[in-house]
Amino acid sequence: MMRRPTKVISRKVDSVRIIKITGRLDPGDGPDHLFDMVQRFVEENEVSFLLDLRSVTYISSTGVGSLIKAYRAVLKKKGHVKLLSPSQSVRNILAISKLDGVFEIYSDEKDALASFSGNKS
């Protein structure tokens, strides 16, 4: 059975780049669409990212690695990566990986966007 490919789309609200991930965050041996997109925007000097995880159904260890790589790329530019509404199963993986203490996690998009206004880089 073929798995649906992960969809990664972005939009910008003020200075915050919102990246919505749909499906399984599991790059495996294939392309890492999330990291590639974040890296492209970082190269364009964007430093505020909100990763919308509402539609992520599964995250693998390579998906966790993708989050960490994206976080590190943004951190090098003194930016911020925050997470929006991960499902309970994704939250569990983040907790096991101790990443729930690294990423700020929000359940409301407005609150998440407002939190960036206090981050003066």
Q: What is the pLDDT of residues 18-30, one digit of tens each?
A: 999 999 999 988 8
Residue 91 lies in a domain: yes
Question: In the predicted model, what is the mean pLDDT of the chain?
Answer: 92
Beta bridge partner(s), residue 24: 58
- Domain range for 11 is 7-116
CATH number at residue 91: 3.30.750.24
Confidence at 121, pLDDT banded by 50, 70, 90: very low
Give pTM, 2 decimals. 0.92
Residue 34 lies in a domain: yes
Residue 121 lies in a domain: no
Contact 48, 17 (CB under 8 A): yes
**Widest distance between CA atoms in the chain:** 47
Number of domains forming the structure of the chain: 1
Phi first, then psi: what are they for 19, rounded to 5°?
-115, 120
Residue 2 lies in a domain: no
Task: State how far the Cα of 55 lies from the Cα of 53, in Å rounded to an integer.
Answer: 5
Q: What is the pLDDT of residues 59-82, one digit of tens each?
A: 999 999 999 999 999 999 999 999
DSSP letters spanning 64-87 = HHHHHHHHHHHHHTT-EEEEE---
